[in-house]
Amino acid sequence: MAKVAFIGLGVMGYPMAGHLAAKGHEVNVYNRTNTKAEAWVQEHGGKSATTPRVASEGAEIVFCCVGNDDDLRSVVLGDDGIFAGMSADTILVDHTTASADVARELDAIAREKSIHFIDAPVSGGQAGAENGVLTVMCGGEQAAFDRIKPVADCFSRAVTLMGPVGSGQLTKMVNQIAIAGLVQGLSEAMNFGQKANLDMGKVIDVISKGAAGSWQMENRGSTMCQGEFKFGFAVDWMRKDLGICFEESKRNGARLPVTHLVDQFYAQVQGRGGNRWDTSSLVHLLQND
Ligand SMILES: NC(=O)c1ccc[n+]([C@@H]2O[C@H](COP(=O)([O-])OP(=O)(O)OC[C@H]3O[C@@H](n4cnc5c(N)ncnc54)[C@H](OP(=O)(O)O)[C@@H]3O)[C@@H](O)[C@H]2O)c1
């Protein structure tokens, strides 16, 4: 069993850290809003710390899951940051969905301190985190990956090394690009079926078993038809992730015409107050023209 720290007890981090404690790891936690850290300790044991630095002291592996690049820098760097508390040959595993750039930037700083860094964004959402079945896409060195994998397995179905630092974030970008276009296509299909007065439950049941089937259709098709969006993966997070994809595409030259269009649709959903709605709320624009 390892001595670990978990920084950032949000929708994702709270249950991920919980699985580490449930499997017997010694877990120190830090959360900016301290009441969440106290609630976590009440539920799972372990200790809460007043700064990321204190939480990370003595940990073999530090896990982190905050919002975006700037949030990540603010918990990792500085006198009270994670790096200030970590000792040589320990490993920082970052589960934030962030840019490949910030991963490389933090890796370079980590190397100066003989610390290992692994970017490790996740897929699977809140339910995946709560049920301990996340997919984790990692970038980093094999030796460090081999040390963290058995620990990250506590909250994951698959933990895979994709390549050098940044490769986890790049893989997550591929994931988000694939989802954006697919959800718009699914929205148009669901709205078309409703306008045609079909029994959409039956339609989803039949076509989800064929070539049009997808995770989104199986898990979101019926809630889309019912106009239910107050759950799941928030539009604000998706726009943050697509922004990261657009920055990266400027560097690698990949064209993203449909993704740009869908991003504009998501901006319209935000304009209708849907910031925290699930990404399947694209259909709302079609249903409520
Ligand atoms: N939710 C999902 O379905 C999902 C799925 C896949 C990936 N992700 C990614 O996972 C990451 C976390 O998502 P989440 O849903 O857990 O978000 P969340 O519920 O909003 O939690 C964010 C966490 O980061 C902390 N935080 C944010 N900014 C901070 C700062 N500047 N300094 C210190 N702490 C800070 C928050 O602390 P406070 O409690 O004090 O606000 C909170 O613990 C994001 O990058 C997201 O894109 C989310």
CA distance 269 to 267: 5
Quick: pLDDT tens for 220-247.
999 999 999 999 999 999 999 999 999 9
Q: What is the CA radius of gyration of the chain?
A: 20
Ligand 1 environment, Cβ below 6 A? 8-13, 31-33, 36, 65-67, 71, 74-75, 96-97, 122, 125-126, 233, 237
Q: What is the Cα 279 distance to its own chain's centre?
A: 14
Rounded mean pLDDT, 114-119? 98
CA 286 from chain centre, in angstroms, equals 27
User: Is residue 289 scored above 90 in pLDDT?
Assistant: no
pLDDT tens-digit profile of 77-88?
Answer: 999 999 999 999
- The pLDDT value recorded for residue 225 is 98
CA pair distance 197, 53, nearest whole angstrom: 58
Query: What is the predicted pLDDT for the residue at 57?
Result: 98
Which of 40, 47, 107, 111 is CA-nearest to residue 72? 107
pLDDT at 121 over 90: yes
Give me the pLDDT at residue 211, please: 98
3, 113, 149, 172: the active-site residue: 172
Instruction: Name the band, by pLDDT with cuts 50, 70 and 90, for residue 219.
Output: very high
250-274 pLDDT, tens digit each: 999 999 999 999 999 999 999 999 9
Mutate to test the pocket of ligand 1, among 11, 50, 135 (most ligand atoms within 8 A of CB): 11
- pTM, two decimals, is 0.96
Q: Distance between CA 40 and CA 26 in Å, rounded?
A: 13
Asked if residue 2 lies in contact with residue 27, where contact means CB atoms within 8 angstroms, the answer is: no
Q: How confident is the model at residue 287 (pLDDT cuts 50, 70, 90)?
A: very high
User: Would you call 52 helix, strand, or coil by DSSP?
Assistant: helix
Query: How many Cβ atoms from other residues are within 10 Å of residue 13's Cβ?
Result: 24
Q: pLDDT (tens digit, 9 = 90+) per residue, 158-170?
A: 999 999 999 999 9
Residues 6+ apart with CB under 8 A from 110: 83, 92, 116, 117
pLDDT single digits (tens) 169-180: 999 999 999 999
Residue 40 near residue 17 (C-beta atoms within 8 A) = yes
